[in-house]
Amino acid sequence: MSKRLFLLLVAASLAGTPAIAKTVRTDTIRITPMEAPASGTIPVEDSLTAQKDPSADDNAPLEEPAPAETYPLPEVLYDPSLLPTPVARMRSQLLDAAISGDIERLRMVLESNEVPPTLSLIEIGDPIEFLKESSGDPDGLEILAILADTLDAGFLHADVGTAQEMYIWPYFARYPFHALTADQKVEMYRIVTAADFAEMEAFGVWLFYRVGIGKDGTLHYFVAGE
């Protein structure tokens, strides 16, 4: 048999022989719930446990945060008989001039004042002319109505015992808006509109007219604005 024929026979026999499956060894790896930590490290769970006070009661109720510091609401006054005589006199003179419908009568009250009262946050000329210009009508009747309504509202005795001690109308000028009740807002809407109040609430300050009279009867201001 030639060598070539022998090789052909060997190749033919190998072609008909099934392939031998190769066995792969596998090992089962068991994963423990928690392996021992490396030196110098603490698992998260142990870290939290370590920070916890061992004497703490898990069932103890959470402590309530300390309440914010609160202040008593200003006392609102309505009775004019509670006013000192000089204050009551000035208020009466202003009211009489306002309901008269003659703005010139207000000039006499202003000129009799110890000092020129503040009527604007900017410099003005003649006070009566300024009030007329600030009014919605040429005769200043609207501004007189505002003055009368302001002085008819509740008032506050503010800054007692200081150099700024004063009686202030309306009390909304120094009263926290968030504390106003429904009936107090009705009082307020007799002076301003809901739109006016919404604007002032956005600024957080009373921007409409207010009157301040010192305990000695001096009219310090009849002014609008911040």
pLDDT at 45: 42
Longest dimension (CA), the chain: 150
Domain residues of the chain, as ranges? 80-223
Asked if 170 contacts 153 with a C-beta cutoff of 8 angstroms, the reply is yes
Residue identified by tokens 């301040």 is 212
Judged on CB neighbours under 10 Å (0-12, 13-18, 19+), 24 is exposed
Distance, C-alpha 221 to centroid of its chain: 27
Q: Report pTM.
A: 0.69
Average pLDDT across the chain, whole number: 80
Average pLDDT over residues 189-210: 96
pLDDT one-digit tens code per residue, 163-186: 999 999 999 999 999 999 999 999
For residue range 47-91, list pLDDT tens digits in order: 434 444 555 555 655 555 544 456 799 999 999 999 999 999 999
Mind listing the pLDDT tens digit for each residue in 104-157? 999 999 999 989 999 998 889 999 999 999 999 999 999 999 999 999 999 999
> Considering only CA atoms, which of 214, 211, 215 is closest in space to residue 95?
211
The beta-carbon contacts of 107-111 under 8 Å, at least 24 apart in sequence, are 109/219, 110/219
Between these two residues, 32 and 161, which has the higher pLDDT value? 161
Instruction: Determine contact, residues 200/206, Cβ cutoff 8 Å.
Output: yes
Q: Where are any strands of DSSP class E within the chain?
A: 156-158, 166-169, 210-214, 219-223
Number of H helices, E strands in the chain: 8, 4
Residue type, 206: W
